[in-house]
Every structure is written in C-alpha cells, then in structure tokens.
Amino acid sequence: MAKRDYYEILGIDKSASAAEIKKAYRKMAIKFHPDKNPDDNEAETKFKEAAEAYEVLSNADKKARYDQFGHQAFEGGGGFGGGGMNMDDIFSQFGDIFGGAFGGGGGGGFSGFGGGFGGGQRRVKGSNLRIRVALTLEEIANGVEKKIKVKRKVQAPGTTYKTCSTCNGSGQVTRITNTILGRMQTASACPTCGGAGQSIDKKPNDADAQGLKVQEETVSVKIPPGVVDSMQLKVTGKGNEAPGNGISGDLLVVIEETEHATLKREGDNLHYDLYVSLPDAVLGTSKEIDTVTGKVRIKVETGVQSGKILRLRGKGIPSINGYGSGDLLVHVNVWTPKTLNKEQKDFFERMKDNEHFDPKPESSDKSFFEKVKDMFS
C-alpha cells in the first residue's frame, strides 16, 4: 500500500512553519497515544505515522529532500529517512517534545490532572554515526551495494548491569506539582542513569564508563539508482550501541558524487561534448561516445552544424522517484584547425568564393537560445 503524504498525515500544508509542524504533531500524538488507546491497532498505526511524518518535516534537510523527491528520497539501504520507525524510536527521539507530557518511555508516561497512566521503562538510544560514500555516475545510474567499514561502539563482552537504585529501573523520575487546576504529574529522565534504567555493575578493563568498546564492522548498504550529491541515507541500528537494553543509533550515509571524465550531470539529464573535424562535419561520420551503461556509436549527419544537440532519450540518470530516466544530450562542436600547411591554405583560399561554403541558415536551424529552451522542455 502506498504511503500517505506526510503533510496530509499532520493536516498541514507545505508552507507550515516549524512551530506549526510541531504543534500539529503534538496534537496527533496526544490523540493517538497508545496509553490513551490501549489495544487499538489503528490508533497505534496513526501514532507511528504522525511520528514518522514529524521526524522528516521537522528536519530542514529531510524536509527539502522530501519536498523534491517524495518518499523515494528515503527508500533503500535498510531503512532511510523517516521509514521503519518503532515505538522505541519514537519515545527516545520525541519524548521531550511535550515538556513532560510524554515521559520518554516505551509506555509513554502521559499524565493528566490528579494522576497519570502508562509509565513504562524508557530506553536510551546510542549516538548516530555519519560517513561519506563516493559514487561514480555509473553507480548512481545503476544503483549499487557498498560494503562499508565502520568503527562503532558496541557492548563489551563481560559487561553486566544492575537496576538503577534511583528510578528502580524505570529510567525516569516523576514529579507532582500542585496547580490551580489540580495536581499535575510530569516525568523526566533519571539523572543517575541518564534514562537507561540500569547502571554498570561489572565491565572489562578495555570498556568505557558505559561498558562499551569500539569495534570495526563491515556494513552492507544498498544505494538505489538516482541519488544526488549530498543526499543522506539512513541505515537503522548501525550506529553506536547504547548501554544496557538501549537502542542502537543509526548510520547516516552521505552521498558524494565523483566527477566523470566526459559526462556532466544536470538533474536527471547528462551532457556530452562531441568534437568533430571539419571534414567529418562536411561529409558525415559516426562516433563512439560514453554513456553510463557503456559506449554507444551514434551517426553524425552530413553537413552537421556546430552547436547541434543530439538527444539520446532514456540514456541519462533514473529518477529517484521512479518516473523513468533523463536523457543524454550530445553537443556537437565542429573543430576548426588553427594551423594549416600551404596546400591546405590554398584549398581553403579556393573555397572562399565557392557558393557551397557560403553560410545559408535554414528555417529549421534553431538559434542558440532556442536550443537551450528545447533542452529544458
């Protein structure tokens, strides 16, 4: 089933400000919070949808990519962008958006007047890692699976944890405040264990204070066709691990497009400069050129004019949205020699007054500006 539009989910339009996006998400999350809708699968689904939409639209970079590419901008590579969020992700990332209304725990911890409900254990999340991956135009056009070596923190073997004595393992502490409307209960992360609900009992000498150690791993990342330079993909759970029963952070893969020797990218289209000699322009020829799927041979017609653009449809970059591919635009440049021997000069001297060498633009010959216009039509 196709994903719903993020703006539609939150009931806002694309011009909504950051404050309006936050307000819309808060309203949706309170309405469909699991503690308020126990055993209601539909409410839980809407709760997750709202969190996923907020995770993207509240981030300026992700929002810009979503506005340009839609859901396709975050697909592939084990779960990119806002996709694949679970309850632990939601509460660990957005639990504090309600200023204590959500305790940040797996069970919520939402409190009303005179008491609350929920209050499950809060699970901390490990930090994210970011790595840049260089891709050729060929890899971008065809999609590729990359094996990436990553140094990430993992729980050291032999590390044991004990229940935090301050929060008794809940990961949060509560505070009751008397207001003119009654008693208000709020929850926040435990200051002793940082919200983990556990503290170190025993750890090996090579582990840090949280019982973690650095380990190199090879992570497989599937990169879909059509990605663009600086696009960020997310591999869920491949960042640093969290202590105890926490959730692993994510690996953020930033795309770096390397320059091609002969092809220049412009959106989904590619450009190629083809240089032909004066005799080849006069007599016609065939030339072998580069494409992202290999070399192809094209025909250059007799009497071709410098500046002519040959369009090879579908030979560009696939759209990240899956709507076909761009074109390869071949720009013909007639190469005029700068030095000639006497015999060659004599030949062109004789041709100067030859009527066949007089410029005779035809009505079908487009101007430079018309050619540029056609390129973008």
Q: What confidence tens digit (pLDDT) does each residue in 128-144 have? A: 999 999 999 999 999 99
Same fold yes or no, 75-257 and 263-375: yes
Q: What is the pLDDT of residue 173?
A: 86
Q: Is the pLDDT of residue 24 over 70?
A: yes
Average model confidence (pLDDT) for the chain?
Answer: 82
Region at 289 (left for phi over 0; alpha for psi -120 to 50; beta for the rest): beta
Once rounded to an integer, what is the mean pLDDT over residues 147-153? 96
pLDDT value at 362 more than 60: yes
- Which pLDDT score, from 0 to 100, does residue 278 have? 93
| The predicted structure's pLDDT at residue 4 | 84
Q: Which pLDDT does position 374 carry in this prediction?
A: 59
pLDDT score at 87: 55
Question: Is it the case that residue 114 has pLDDT exceeding 50?
Answer: no
Percentage of the chain modeled with pLDDT above 90: 46
| pLDDT, position 34 | 75
**Mean per-residue pLDDT, 222-246:** 91
Read off the pLDDT band of 368 (50, 70, 90): low
For residue range 286-314, what is the model confidence (pLDDT) as tens digits?
Answer: 999 999 999 999 999 999 999 999 999 99
Query: At a CB cut-off of 8 Å and minimum separation 6, what does 135 contact?
Result: 144, 223, 227, 255, 256, 257, 258
Mean pLDDT lowest among 79-88, 172-181, 213-222, 270-279:
79-88
CA dist., res. 272 & res. 290, Å (int) = 8
Mean per-residue pLDDT, 82-107: 49
Q: What is the pLDDT of residues 242-274, one digit of tens each?
A: 888 788 999 999 999 999 999 999 999 999 999
Per-residue pLDDT, 243: 86
Report which listed range, 40-44, 123-127, 343-347, 363-367, is most confident.
Answer: 343-347
Predicted pLDDT at 369? 55
Rounded Cα gap, residues 45 and 231, in angstroms: 28
Report the C-alpha gap between 138 and 190 in whole angstroms: 51
- The string of pLDDT tens digits covering residues 187-220 is 787 888 877 788 888 999 999 988 899 999 999 9
Q: Could you tell me the CA-to-CA distances from 167 to 12, 164, 187 in Å, in that order?
A: 39, 6, 11
Domain ranges of the chain: 75-257, 263-375
Q: What number of other Cβ atoms are within 10 A of residue 224's Cβ?
A: 18
Is the whole-model pTM more than 0.95?
A: no
The pLDDT assigned to 112 comes to 32
pLDDT at 95: 52
pLDDT band at 101 (very low <50, low <70, confident <90, very high): very low
Average pLDDT score over residue span 14-32: 89
Which residues are CB-neighbours of 113 under 8 A, at least 6 positions away?
Answer: 181, 182, 183, 184
Kindly state the average pLDDT of the residues 224-241.
Answer: 93
Residue 134 burial by Cβ neighbours in a 10 Å radius (0-12, 13-18, 19+): exposed
pLDDT at position 93? 56
CATH of 263-375, one of 2.60.120.10, 3.40.50.300, 2.60.260.20, 3.40.50.920: 2.60.260.20
Total residue count of the chain as it appears in this document = 377
pLDDT at 122: 55
State the architecture of 75-257 in CATH terms.
Answer: Sandwich (2.60)
pLDDT greater than 70 at residue 365: no
